[in-house]
Chain A
Amino acid sequence: MADVRCPMCGKPNPEELELCQFCQARIKPLEGRSPAEEFNSPIGAEPPLDTGGEQDSIDEWLNFLRQSEDEGEPRPFDEEQLADWMKEDLDIKMPESQEPLEPEGTPDWLSSLRSIADEDAPEPPDVEKAQPAVEPSPADSSEENEVPGWLSKLRSRRTAEEGEADQEFAFQLGEEPKISEQAGIQEDRSAISTESVSDWLSELRGEEAPVVDSSQPPELVQEELPAGQVEIGEEVVQPGVGVVSQDEDIPVVEADRASEIQPQTEEIPDWLAGIVAGGAAVAAAEGVEADLDNLPEWLADLEKSSALDREEIVPFGEEGEELTFDWLQTQVRAGQETPYGEELTSDTLGTEADTRGVGPFVGDLSDFLEEAELSSLEAAQPGVEQPGGDLSPAELPTWLEAMRPVDAAAGVYAIDAQDGQVESSGPLAGMQGVLPAEPEIARLKKPAVYALRLQVTESQRAHASLLDELVKSEGEPKEIPGRPAVTSPYLFRLIIFAVLISTILWQVFTGSQTSPLPGLMPETFDTSEIIDNLPENALVLLGVDYDPALAGEMEAAAASLVDHMMLKGAYLGLVSTSSTGPALGEHLIATVGSLSGNRYQGIEMYANLGYLPGGASGLQAFAQAPRQVAPFALDPETTAVWSNTPLQAAQDLAGFDLVAVITDDSDKARAWIEQVQPTLNGTPLIMVISTQAEPLVRPYYQANPKQVDGMVVGLAGGGSYEQSHQDLLAGNGLARKYWDAFSLSVLAAVVLIAVGGFVNLVTNLLNAQKQSKADKKR
């Protein structure tokens, strides 16, 4: 035998068990059980959901009930799971057919009822056909353990009323399940009413049936009923309340509901016909004629007894506390206070369901069935039963079928269709019918239909089209307008080049030196005076701090000066803060030597001390300690100039007789002036500078005291120096060579700038006028 593992405790159980023998947890799911299993289920357990709510399943269920009634099979009752009062109820049914289950547990009032039934009934009722449809809730079962107040009150009441009241009370109790059935599942109303009636009620039926006057046709009675209400005796069926007194508000039953009931009354049993007849008699009190003589005898007795006790117990549910059940009174009041249609909590719903007798079904039905049931309860149609044997195949009433939320039912069915799956993992392993994780996804709904066409206004459409055109135009290739090969700027640059190169070529080919050199300038004169005053074998520190790009200007300005110093027999020490300075110094010395015709040997005539890295810091270091910063010359022998040359006489820069700086950069000139000049201690500082550096160096020259003792500025300064010392460079100075070409080039530059500027100015003005005219036209 295969064992089934409990999903809760995990222990194996026999396959046929529904509950775990260890933890009492349910092993087999409730759904999908047959009606027979439904009856075997413990009282108070959850009834199965209507898996689909389809007519077929209902029909099967009803057919099963009919078959059970027809075959007279004893219901497979699990008596141990029944509530005590149900067991007692069974005791009433079982005296002849079966052995009493627990005779000692039978309440007194039921015993009295049983005795009355035994005395009045000529034949025992067919208890086998009675099916308990009302299953008390667990709450009711729990109340059974305690002695309920209603029971004690009932006992006292019965003692006081000496039996007749008991009979009437039993009648009330006997009617209550029927009312519950009316409020229950409507499509199964007739069948359930037949099967849900308690056994003791069946007994009552059995004794009542012969009493009913069969000569009174039910149809006639039914026709005499008022259209708006149906009364049973003096009590009135009120939804949610049960049986209430006539003094209470009488629920109104719709006329069409009454008309629906009518065809069913044709098939009602005799005993129920008598009840209906009794109801007709009560209705007569409201103005409808009723033939009291046609009432059955037992109903007449009930009428009498109820008339006697009306003042005491008739206000059912209100002030008859000593005569009614506490729990029922509570529920009645709750039902009165909480009308249908308002929110019903699970508690109130359960208690009301208990009161109506349909408790186990209401709370566990699916939503749509529950709503349908509540709606039916609102309608409060009085119960009309049909004998089980004559039942026609149950069909859903049209009104109930119309009330069914088909879509919701379809959705639920779509979800429940997956309930057959058994969880294979997790804490719910082994359980069936677990809610799927995607109920919203599985819900069958028609997708919302949206219009595909965007609703836009005309202006929005126009803007959109405009934007679309713009975007498309961006993607379209555009033809790039061809540029002319020769443009005015290009032509103008060619003209400038041609003019300038022509002046140079004219000077080269003609060798003209017609333009007079500039006269002696003050700064040039001061420089010449300083050099002229140099002692013999003077030590001159020559700073070569210009770039090769401006070497043409700087060499033309400095060549005569260097030649002047060399002729004075000065020993030159070349130093530079530029990396190209040592090479430029060599180039300068070579140029001067070539121009003058003198040969200036390397270490004998001058010493190239090389490059001073660090810019101003290098100059500062060299000014403080020249022997340490530049100890060697750059000649091939790397001579230690400070010990083997005339420079050994100079311990520092102050030991030099002259410091001359050749530079094209104002910053370098400023560095020399600021870093070196303070350490010279009277040694003159002269500068050969480019024309572009003149404005920044001249203030040092014009200062008082002068920080720069003499200047030679540019080509004009060199020409002026050559003009003052015409013997220098053998009268073949660079300034003289360049001066005619320079003057002509300056003139050409002036003309080009002036003409070009004028043309551009006129062109600009014309364009501005055209633009203004165009703007005015616009």
Chain B
Amino acid sequence: MKIPVAAAIAIAFGLVVLAGYFLPLPELVSLRTILVQWSMIIASTALFVGVANLLRVHWFKLRKGGTASAYSFLLIASLLVTLVVVGLYGPTGSWSLWIFNSIQFPIESSLMAILAVVLIYSAARLMRRRMDLFSLLFGMAVLLVLLGSAPIFGIEIPFLYGPDGLRSLIVQIPAVAGARGILLGVALGTIATGLRILIGADRPYGG
């Protein structure tokens, strides 16, 4: 019979951490703190493993050749250059921040700007793709929230803009109600997932 060693370790550690919350014993608290710190170390190691795997995959793509190999070359070169620069000057060094502020920051902001165009286009096409009551409700809610987000040419629409406007009503009542439901569901799901892991029903760690 195969002994589920991994499951036994996971269950034991989970019970120890859980007990540290309910039993304020100094030993349990210190043990819980050590275990949680280990989790951070493991996560950091996983990050390094991910970077190494990314480098390996694109290295093979580069050796394989083709049109996509140029992108792989660009990725590997950027990785190595950033690694060297950050390694030499530190994460908050001037050159390191230059790379971030001049490359990564504009690129990601531009992508978000493109998202604005796409969202407007999709909202307009919604009436063509799917014309029903819920599409109409969705479109009307979007228009009302947008119109209530800012005054139009300095003109504040009375029933839309402001703390007592329709926009605040929509955001704080229906949206928050839905968000609360989502949060409750997330909480219940988290508890269920934790219990399943503790009893060994779920083994995301494998084994």
Interface residues of A (CB under 8 A from B): 489, 492-493, 496-497, 500, 514-516, 518-519, 521-522, 547-552, 579-580, 582-583, 586-587, 602, 608, 610, 612-615, 617-618, 620-621, 624-625, 628-629, 634-636, 638, 666, 670, 691, 694-696, 698-699, 702, 716, 739, 742-747, 749-750, 752-761, 763-765
Alpha-carbon gap, A750 to B100, bound state (A):
34
Whether the pair A628, B91 counts as a contact (CB closer than 8 A) is: no
Q: Which residues of A contact B126 (CB under 8 A)?
A: 757, 760
Q: Which residues of A contact B116 (CB under 8 A)?
A: 500, 745, 749
Beyond A666-B179, A760-B127, 15 additional pairs, beta carbon < 8 A: A492-B121, A496-B120, A500-B116, A515-B150, A515-B154, A549-B108, A552-B112, A612-B40, A613-B44, A624-B33, A634-B90, A670-B186, A698-B172, A698-B176, A743-B154
Q: Which residues of B contact A620 (CB under 8 A)?
A: 36
Alpha-carbon gap, A14 to B81, bound state (A):
100
Alpha-carbon gap, A552 to B146, bound state (A):
18
What is the CB-to-nearest-CB distance from B101 to chain A, in angstroms, rounded to a whole number? 6
Contact with A along B131-163 (1 / 0, CB 8 A): 100000001001100110111111010000111
Q: Decide yes or no whether B67 CB sits under 8 A from chain A.
A: no
Whether the pair A746, B147 counts as a contact (CB closer than 8 A) is: yes
Q: Which residues of A contact B161 (CB under 8 A)?
A: 518
Q: Which residues of B contact A621 (CB under 8 A)?
A: 33, 36-37, 39-40
Q: Tell me the interface secondary structure of chain B in the complex.
A: helix
Q: Which residues of A contact B121 (CB under 8 A)?
A: 489, 492-493, 496, 756
Whether the pair B124, A760 counts as a contact (CB closer than 8 A) is: yes
What is the CB-to-nearest-CB distance from B52 to chain A, in angstroms, rounded to a whole number? 16
- In the complex, the 6 A-B pairs of residues with the closest C-beta atoms, listed nearest first: A756-B124, A760-B128, A743-B150, A614-B43, A549-B108, A695-B175
What is the CB-to-nearest-CB distance from B16 to chain A, in angstroms, rounded to a whole number? 14
Q: List 8 A-B contacts (CB under 8 A).
A: A497-B117, A514-B153, A518-B161, A621-B33, A624-B32, A635-B90, A746-B150, A761-B127
Of all chain B residues, the one with the shortest Cβ separation from A520 is B163
Whether the pair B152, A747 counts as a contact (CB closer than 8 A) is: yes
Q: Decide yes or no whether B182 CB sits under 8 A from chain A.
A: yes
Q: A583-B92, A695-B179, A698-B179 are in contact. Are A551 and B105 (CB under 8 A)?
A: yes
Alpha-carbon gap, A743 to B154, bound state (A):
8
Q: A750-B143, A753-B120 are in contact. Are A587 and B154 (CB under 8 A)?
A: no
Of all chain A residues, the one with the shortest Cβ separation from B33 is A624
Q: Which residues of A contact B189 (CB under 8 A)?
A: none
Contact with A along B8-32 (1 / 0, CB 8 A): 0000000000000000000001001
Alpha-carbon gap, A602 to B178, bound state (A):
43
Alpha-carbon gap, A552 to B147, bound state (A):
21
Whether the pair A580, B128 counts as a contact (CB closer than 8 A) is: no
Residue count of chain B within 8 Å CB distance of chain A: 63
Alpha-carbon gap, A650 to B146, bound state (A):
44
Alpha-carbon gap, A629 to B36, bound state (A):
10
Alpha-carbon gap, A716 to B147, bound state (A):
13
Q: Tell me the interface secondary structure of chain A in the complex.
A: helix
Q: Which residues of B contact A750 (CB under 8 A)?
A: 143, 146-147
Of all chain A residues, the one with the shortest Cβ separation from B123 is A753
Q: Which residues of A contact B84 (CB under 8 A)?
A: none
Interface residues of B (CB under 8 A from A): 29, 32-33, 36-37, 39-40, 42-44, 47, 89-93, 96-97, 100-101, 104-105, 107-109, 111-112, 116-117, 120-121, 123-128, 131, 139, 142-143, 146-147, 149-154, 156, 161-163, 171-172, 175-176, 178-180, 182-183, 186
Q: Which residues of B contact A610 (CB under 8 A)?
A: 91
Q: A612-B40, A752-B120, A757-B123 are in contact. Are A583 and B91 (CB under 8 A)?
A: yes
Of all chain A residues, the one with the shortest Cβ separation from B128 is A760
Whether the pair A500, B117 counts as a contact (CB closer than 8 A) is: yes
Alpha-carbon gap, A123 to B46, bound state (A):
129
Of all chain A residues, the one with the shortest Cβ separation from B86 is A583
What is the CB-to-nearest-CB distance from B33 to chain A, in angstroms, rounded to a whole number? 5
Q: Which residues of B contact A699 (CB under 8 A)?
A: 176, 179-180, 183
Whether the pair A757, B124 counts as a contact (CB closer than 8 A) is: yes
Alpha-carbon gap, A691 to B171, bound state (A):
10
What is the CB-to-nearest-CB distance from A606 to chain B, in angstroms, rounded to a whole number? 11
Q: Which residues of B contact A744 (CB under 8 A)?
A: 153
Of all chain A residues, the one with the shortest Cβ separation from B21 is A678
Whether the pair B100, A583 counts as a contact (CB closer than 8 A) is: yes
Q: Which residues of A contact B127 (CB under 8 A)?
A: 756-758, 760-761, 764
Q: Which residues of B contact A519 (CB under 8 A)?
A: 162-163
Alpha-carbon gap, A763 to B111, bound state (A):
31
Q: Which residues of B contact A760 (CB under 8 A)?
A: 124-128
What is the CB-to-nearest-CB distance from B115 to chain A, in angstroms, rounded to a whole number? 8
Q: Which residues of B contact A497 (CB under 8 A)?
A: 117
Whether the pair A550, B147 counts as a contact (CB closer than 8 A) is: no
Whether the pair B100, A580 counts as a contact (CB closer than 8 A) is: yes
Partner of A764, one of B89, B128, B150: B128
Whether the pair B131, A764 counts as a contact (CB closer than 8 A) is: yes
Whether the pair A629, B149 counts as a contact (CB closer than 8 A) is: no
Q: Which of B91, B93, B186 gathers the greatest number of chain A CB atoms within 10 Å? A: B91
Alpha-carbon gap, A496 to B146, bound state (A):
16
Q: Which residues of A contact B146 (CB under 8 A)?
A: 746, 749-750, 753
Whether the pair B178, A695 counts as a contact (CB closer than 8 A) is: yes
Of all chain A residues, the one with the shortest Cβ separation from B149 is A746
Whether the pair B176, A702 counts as a contact (CB closer than 8 A) is: yes
What is the CB-to-nearest-CB distance from A495 to chain B, in angstroms, rounded to a whole number? 9
Q: Which residues of A contact B128 (CB under 8 A)?
A: 760-761, 763-764
Q: Which residues of B contact A549 (CB under 8 A)?
A: 108-109, 111-112
Alpha-carbon gap, A492 to B123, bound state (A):
12
Q: A694-B171, A746-B147, A749-B120 are in contact. Are A521 and B163 (CB under 8 A)?
A: yes
Q: Which residues of B contact A522 (CB under 8 A)?
A: 163
Partner of B37, one of A582, A587, A625, A754: A625
What is the CB-to-nearest-CB distance from B193 to chain A, in angstroms, rounded to a whole number? 13
What is the CB-to-nearest-CB distance from A460 to chain B, in angstroms, rounded to a whole number? 45
Whether the pair A624, B179 counts as a contact (CB closer than 8 A) is: no
Q: Which of B92, B104, B171 gathers the greatest number of chain A CB atoms within 10 Å? A: B92
